[in-house]
Amino acid sequence: MSKILKYPLQRIESISDYLKINVVTYEAPGLGSSGAGGGFFQLPQGSQVNGPGATDRIIGTIFLPIPEGLSDLNRANWAGSNLNSLAGAAVNTIKDVGKDLSLDNLQKDLAGTLNAAGSTLAGAASKAIAGLDDKTRAVVSGAFVGSAVNLFGANVSLNDLTARTDGVILNPNLELLFKGVDLRDFTFSFELTPRSRAESQEIKSIINTFKRRMAPKTSISNASGGSKGIFIQSPDVFNIEFRRGGAKHPFLFSMKTCALTNIQVDYAGTGAYTTYEDSTPVKMRMSLSFRELNPIYAEDYSDDLSDGVGF
């Protein structure tokens, strides 16, 4: 049976909002499978938190109040990308050449295939240049002039030349393009003010649990483990959920399984070191930084808003 820790000890009722953190044994994602189900890696969905069966791996549960300064930040990596017309034409030409240079063709007739590729390249280049008007052709020829001049260390770009001679540069066709996914970070801060001896013990256990569970383990317990000292095992991970009473919070955001990357505790929260009779500080401030193990995908969201704003 997993252990339950709670702060504050009182005031978590059916009308209370609070944060529930399940401490879960980490399960390595593995290398996936290339079976009929899809790609090499299966993209983890919202319900799949650090592998199936995560609920069976719950070591303990910590209930905390809603943290101060609550916010989430979802990111998508987009960046500007250039592709001018000449480069675009070159891409198309090289794609044609690529068709000639297939592995089958090269195996059958190496010399013939290379000749054919060369012819395709020359033909495509001639076709591309022939399709240009006089002005553009003059600019393109300037590019080759620039390349020739660079042989003498001039360090002149095509745009430098065309800007000097004709007052134009190549249209870069700048466009914002998607570059990849990112992992979300969360930092939660809690004021801890023990009200009784029992609550003091609970706070001590909560801090101890976070510190212990975020630490890597030197004793390898799983099947892939080797001799002690050769490997260290991943720390435990955390399933975090905002709740209201016995249900998921109807508004706040959801999180996928997170790793705890930082814990900071200020034991002199009053501004000076002041304690209760058993040396428990009167006020502490605990700051937890989590990072999600998996990125967020559109499929993680549902149309049902009863579970809040989503991830």
- Residue placing its CB nearer to another protein in the complex, 14 or 227: 14
- According to the binding rule CB under 8 A, does residue 274 interact with another protein? yes
- Residue placing its CB nearer to another protein in the complex, 67 or 146: 67
- According to the binding rule CB under 8 A, does residue 13 interact with another protein? no
Q: What are phi and psi of 65, to 5 degrees?
A: -70, 165
- Stretch touching another protein by CB under 8 A, among 28-36, 170-178, 191-199, 296-304: 191-199
Q: Cα 215–219–225 angle (5° rounding)? A: 115
Euclidean distance between CA atoms 209 and 5, whole angstroms: 9
- According to the binding rule CB under 8 A, does residue 277 interact with another protein? yes
- Residue placing its CB nearer to another protein in the complex, 20 or 285: 285
- According to the binding rule CB under 8 A, does residue 86 interact with another protein? no
- Of positions 108, 275, 305, 309, contacts another protein by CB under 8 A: 275
Residue 252 makes CB contacts below 8 A (sequence gap 6+) with 70, 242, 308, 309
- According to the binding rule CB under 8 A, does residue 282 interact with another protein? yes
Residue 25 makes CB contacts below 8 A (sequence gap 6+) with 57, 59, 236, 237
CB atoms near residue 239 (< 10 Å): 20
- Residue placing its CB nearer to another protein in the complex, 78 or 276: 276
- According to the binding rule CB under 8 A, does residue 194 interact with another protein? yes
Amino acid at 141: S
Structure tokens at 141: 């020829």
Residue numbers at the binding site for another protein (CB under 8 A): 194-200, 274-277, 279, 282
